Structure 1
């Protein structure tokens, strides 16, 4: 009888304890679920921001196509690369990928199945991205609406279509590794370096490449953009686009609006400003500006240095002819003195972009015209009309030569052949 009573009370106590436990679970579970959802939502939001910085949509979206569905053609001297679909579609996108697969692509340059990726995808820079940031980007991409879009295969010339050759290339030129902070620098400087070197992949354009398409260095020394008839100027030389003598605020303005009193982002850089850089947080753009300014701290180049000097009669004759063309087509906006209108029409006098060794960007601007980036800080930019259908190659060469040597500018003359070679290419 006693044992029956004890057993009875044991059952009562057990049921009571279970009730407490169940009540605790029911009370705490919604909080955990809500916390998990909040963390995921925050990761997706941060991933969207990082995706903007990396300008992922810029490459993974073809003109008129669905965002991130790929299909954009990247023409290079090695063939044509087609960007893949990175929406979460399970058949044609990355819907079957997980975080580790995505990290492997960014960090190691390998696809989900272990296949080596071509460096047209800038994993050579993305390898510096942290795992936390890679996971956030993946979370954002997985939150997108899936788009069923099968894109064509790459059309790569022989022998560059050999995976064995690609493996050799990686051995020679690819260094895997997350960005390591420089302990002698400030946290802001390191943040800027991380963004420029890694997710921003600035070196993908602002570098000279060898015959195998590998970057010659990581110093952002400038070079012609692969597959494009545009020159990305050196960011570490005061003779080109170095910002060592700029105030931080002016660098910030150029990065976020695409225009300042003495500089305008044009061509592909205008697109980067519009699609990516204008969305940087104030902290990140200040950090990036601080890092970019520091790149020229050891550069002794003189911004107003003489590149080229000729005093022959033939030289003067060409400048006279170019001056007449300038007066007819350019002077109304850029002024007789070449000083333009600050914030509207860029100055040509003393413009480093005009007197760089490579005249390519000036030629392209005259041929194709264009607009600075349309941004929140410059919502209605003034544009330049194209003159490709108005001026012959010889006339373009003359007027560009004049611009490069008027008002104290000094640079080499431009030939009609250079104008002809600059035509075409991706804007």
Structure 2
């Protein structure tokens, strides 16, 4: 289950799931006064429904379902600097899925990062975050997965470079970067804050995208949630701390709207985060969304994310780009985003005082101008307004010019970007 982001968290009709109750695994008993008691069909149906919700919160579908393929059948390629990983089949198929797994096997996998056979799981599976999930929530997710239709499709073997194809090397990675343990509430914080922390740090595995990784694929823990470039996807996950992209000065309602619908008066989500909202966050309850927003507002400033390599322009050339970009903006962008950069939110987000425009990394605004895109289609915003692509109509210098203008106008404090940066991103994958 995964920032690549966790990453679209599995629509299953509960009525159909309930019909499968007679054939579900026997480990659904529960304890009453210390004595095992067989779960009733109603108990089982409730457990499955709760597990479906939690699987949405964990964005399981994002990684374990190929676009257009069978739900949870795996096979999604995940490109990494070390080679390509393919996600496994987690349907209840006995041959290729988790049909022969026990509830204990499943909990051990998400809590300790060990598969049923004891082998070490690669950390693309976010067990370093999922270890915080409670046993009760793990059991519910397992019940839900066991209620889904089995798919008899083998998992594709990973294609990792030597020596990363040796799982035994993961022992070193785990020693450095993995700490096992369920989430412990902070008694000095509210119940709502703790619920938000549990979802963000555990099921949501937000740090997978919003924390930079080092050369061996480990998180830079000193800069947790301080943002980072998603490897090989060329999207920048902004800081969630009080620095460049922090949410401390946002209204709770604006954060909640962004998470639930993909748009808010402060901006809209695109790229990988749009998938997270579409497949996961829009299905969460208003209470859980509010809890996440409450927690995100309080994430303290730690350390800035490691600097990303970025072509710099001279002051004179930056001024030239700024002037050229002003005309391009007037001709191509002002109709939607307004001459003063305030836009017409939420359909056309503001560019003035927009944190995502001013970040140290200019990757996201460059990609938006090149490729365009849409916020996610959600129940709260079923027909989102889109951004047209300009890759075919604007040269690298023209894109650099208009992005420079946007990053340095209306009080924005971004830096100029270079045509070489645009050229480097022109052929970047779209998702």
TM-score by length of 2: 0.86
8 Å Cα contact 2:74/2:88 also seen in 1: yes
C-alpha separation in 1, matches of 2:347 and 2:291: 27
Q: Alpha carbon RMSD of aligned pairs, Å? A: 2.1
8 Å Cα contact 1:74/1:227 also seen in 2: no
* 2:295 aligned with 1:274: no
Deviation at 1:130, TM superposition (A): 0.5
Deviation at 1:327, TM superposition (A): 2.1
Deviation at 1:34, TM superposition (A): 9.5
C-alpha separation in 1, matches of 2:73 and 2:177: 29
* 2:331 aligned with 1:350: no
C-alpha separation in 2, matches of 1:389 and 1:44: 48
Deviation at 1:410, TM superposition (A): 2.1
8 Å Cα contact 1:238/1:244 also seen in 2: no
8 Å Cα contact 1:205/1:226 also seen in 2: no
- Find the counterpart in structure 2 of residue 381 from structure 1: 384
Deviation at 1:137, TM superposition (A): 0.2
Once the two structures are superposed, the pairs formed by residues 40-79 of structure 1 within 5 Å of their partners are: 40-79=44-83
Structure 2 portions without partners, runs of 5+: 1-35, 305-311
Q: What is the aligned length?
A: 387
Once the two structures are superposed, the pairs formed by residues 117-266 of structure 1 within 5 Å of their partners are: 117-217=121-221, 219-240=224-245, 242-266=246-270
* 2:110 aligned with 1:106: yes
8 Å Cα contact 1:125/1:198 also seen in 2: yes
Deviations along 1:314-362, whole A, 9 cap, x unmatched? 3322211112222222122112111111111111111111010000010
- Find the counterpart in structure 1 of residue 323 from structure 2: 320
Deviation at 1:313, TM superposition (A): 4.2
Residues 208/60 of structure 1: CA separation in 2 closer, same or farther (3 Å cut): same
Deviations along 1:276-295, whole A, 9 cap, x unmatched? 11111122112111111111
Residues 78/299 of structure 1: CA separation in 2 closer, same or farther (3 Å cut): closer
TM-score by length of 1: 0.87
C-alpha separation in 2, matches of 1:99 and 1:426: 38
- Find the counterpart in structure 2 of residue 5 from structure 1: none
SS of 1:205 mapped into structure 2: helix
C-alpha separation in 2, matches of 1:170 and 1:238: 29
Residues 285/409 of structure 1: CA separation in 2 closer, same or farther (3 Å cut): same
Worse-matched range after superposition: 68-77 or 408-417: 408-417
Considering fraction of residues, name the structure with more helix: 1
- Find the counterpart in structure 2 of residue 371 from structure 1: 374
SS of 1:80 mapped into structure 2: strand
C-alpha separation in 2, matches of 1:261 and 1:163: 46
SS of 2:169 mapped into structure 1: helix
C-alpha separation in 2, matches of 1:97 and 1:181: 30
Q: Which runs of 4+ in 1 moved over 4 A?
A: 32-35, 298-301, 309-313
Residues 310/79 of structure 1: CA separation in 2 closer, same or farther (3 Å cut): closer
C-alpha separation in 2, matches of 1:127 and 1:244: 27
Deviations along 1:226-245, whole A, 9 cap, x unmatched? 331101001012421x1111
Deviations along 1:358-388, whole A, 9 cap, x unmatched? 0001011111111111111111110011112
- Find the counterpart in structure 2 of residue 25 from structure 1: none
Worse-matched range after superposition: 361-370 or 44-53: 361-370
- Find the counterpart in structure 1 of residue 30 from structure 2: none
Structure 1 portions without partners, runs of 5+: 1-31, 302-308
8 Å Cα contact 2:260/2:282 also seen in 1: yes
Deviations along 1:112-144, whole A, 9 cap, x unmatched? 100100001111100100111000000000000
SS of 1:228 mapped into structure 2: coil
